[in-house]
A and B are shown apart, each in its own frame.
Chain A
Amino acid sequence: MTAGLALDVLLAVALPLVGLAAVLRRDLVQSVMLLFSLGVLLAIAWARLGAPDIAMVEAALGAGVTGVLFLSALARVGPDDAAPRAASVRVALAALAAAAVAPVALAVEALPRAFEGLGREVLARVPETGATHPVTSVLLDFRGYDTLLEIAVLLLAVLGAWAARGGAPSPRPPAPGPILTAAVRLLLPLMVVVAGVLLWVGSSAPGGAFQAGTVLGTTLVLATLSGGVALPRVPPWVVRSMLALGFAVFLAVAGATAASGRALLRYPGAHAAGLLLAIEAALTISIAVVVWALFERDPEERRAEGEAGGREGEAA
């Protein structure tokens, strides 16, 4: 217990410090690296706070997707050569930031030390939902509407990224060395299995579509990056359809529930579990494709490339 508390104190102190370091580092690559390590620390913190679901997502993101996103961006953006601001300015800004968050700290301090929230009520009514894991119940049933819209946000990330890329195909990040290639070859099947398990247990234990999807997606990305595994070339509309699949299924369920005269997203008791699993499965695929699409060229780009006779090497 005391050991636990000691660990908590250590984490609580380390987190802001690592964050500050990430902000202050001159070298952009280093500060991104620090961001990842913060992710790892956070994953531990989530675990300490009894939030294994978040811990898993944090791991999948911080170590996986976000990491690769930042790295591939850095490979194309180049260093931050802006002259550092005068010390006085930086101090002033630091003071400003501190002043901005100080009241929040006060408000937090004022909060009671023990507070139920909705925990008990949620636990009491989980059996009425299609899932047995409370967090999943909240995500897909109590607040399923939020999750539906959240998936739309995820799709928007892809659409926005495609809109932003525009112009000529982006230069690819340098292909990684043979070690990674070999590693990916080994990891690939394993990660697919992991994704499947995560998806399956999601309804009863920590895990679920998002974790599974990100794992699968990261796998796809690594596969493409390493070039060790040639992915089949699919026409753009297939990519877009797979992107939309999860959201479409979720939306269809929503529409059906609403049309059936019941409340929006009120699953019929008997089929609730089945419906949730279907949604989760579809989402897993789409999320994986989303993650992959965030790195891959978008359909227009690929078509242009195809027309250009694949001037730029697609797969090794």
Chain B
Amino acid sequence: MTSAHLFAFSGVALLGAGLLGVLAHRHLVRRVVGLNLAGSGVFLVIVALARRSDPPDPVPHALVLTGLVVGLSATALALALAVRLHRETGAARVPEEDGP
């Protein structure tokens, strides 16, 4: 087992944990935590697989750097929403039911 694949599998597992976090909770902040975990998992897979050459392929690194920034933006927006939701409804829950 090369470290590249080792970390790739680790990333897949991390993604699974994050997915569980999103599925299992309704609290928006918890879901954001889950999304961050899942995101890190995906990034880990991508960067780990770039390690299969020496020196590592810089393109995936660039992609992940972009991905990290995007992730930060999404997290910031989600947390702002959570704060506002909490102020309006007293709980930062993500509603389940359909319809306006």
Contacts and interface: CB of A to CB of B under 8 A. Distances in A.
A163 to B, nearest CB: 8
Interface string B38-72: 00110111011111110111111110111011101
Nearest to B11: A15
Contact of B24 (A38, A73, A78, A85): A85
Nearest to B66: A150
Contacts of A165: 80, 83-84
A210 B69 contact: yes
Nearest to B16: A101
Contacts of A167: 84, 87-88
Contacts of A45: 7, 10, 44
Given A22-B21, A22-B37, A147-B66, A108 B8 contact: yes
A156 B2 CA distance: 40
B22 to A, nearest CB: 9
A49 B20 contact: no
Given A49-B7, A100-B19, A161-B77, A138 B72 contact: no
A48 B2 CA distance: 12
Given A23-B17, A100-B19, A153-B70, A164 B84 contact: yes
Interface residues of B, number: 76
The dominant DSSP class at the A interface is: helix
Given A54-B47, A65-B72, A122-B59, A108 B6 contact: no
A155 B3 CA distance: 37
Contacts of B64: 51, 54
A81 B90 CA distance: 11
Contacts of A307: none
A22 B33 contact: yes
A76 B8 CA distance: 36
A97 interface: yes
Contact of B76 (A69, A98, A150): A69
B37 A19 contact: yes
A112 B52 contact: yes
A119 B50 CA distance: 9
B25 to A, nearest CB: 7
Contacts of B49: 108, 111, 115
A184 to B, nearest CB: 22
Nearest to B41: A19
B80 A160 contact: yes
Contacts of A101: 12-13, 15-16, 19
What are the 8 A-B residue pairs with the smallest beta carbon separation, nearest first?
A: A157-B73, A117-B57, A16-B13, A161-B80, A12-B10, A119-B57, A138-B62, A19-B17
Given A97-B23, A146-B66, 7 more contacts: A16-B16, A20-B20, A49-B47, A82-B25, A108-B45, A154-B72, A161-B76
14 contacts: A12-B10, A16-B16, A16-B41, A38-B40, A45-B44, A48-B7, A49-B4, A76-B87, A80-B29, A85-B24, A101-B12, A105-B9, A160-B77, A164-B80
